[in-house]
Amino acid sequence: MIQRPQTVYLIIAAIVNLTVFFNSIYSQAMADPAEWIGYGLAISLTLSLLIALGSVFVYKNRPVQLKIVKIATYIQIVALGFGSGVLFSLGGFGTFLWQETIGIALITVALAMYWLAGRGIKKDEELVKSMDRIR
């Protein structure tokens, strides 16, 4: 379970999603007068984090794990959309918005980790299928 690279990727994605809650992009989103943006960011990050941790324990059923990781990837894309919306409502990229830009970068890093985990799960599944053909 832990020795698989995709498990490490999923744990890193969960940790990175957790650190976004302590970044200023989250506090800016929650301070936004349109509360749905902050709640949308919080819900999508939390769902993505919980799904990543849950998919670590489905390691024996790779096709199901791949579907779960794809769902988490889509939810992470939604979180990236909410975060980008908050960033651009603050004025976009600038010298005074470095903390918010780092928050968006963290969300993007988590998205890349989901992609790498999905790729690793696909490789494992292909390896198992190729071994079944040899038998």
Average pLDDT, the chain: 88
| Average pLDDT value for residue range 69-89 | 92
Q: Is the pLDDT of residue 135 over 60?
A: no
| Average pLDDT value for residue range 47-68 | 91
Q: Is the pLDDT of residue 8 over 80?
A: yes
- For the chain, the domains span 5-134
Scanning the structure block, which residue is given the tokens 């890349």?
A: 112
DSSP per-residue codes, 33-95: SSHHHHHHHHHHHHHHHHHHHHHHTTTT-HHHHHHHHHHHHHHHHHHHHHHHHHHHHTTSS-T
Q: Is the pTM of this model over 0.85?
A: yes
Q: Which of 12, 37, 18, 19 is nearest to 87 (CA)?
A: 37
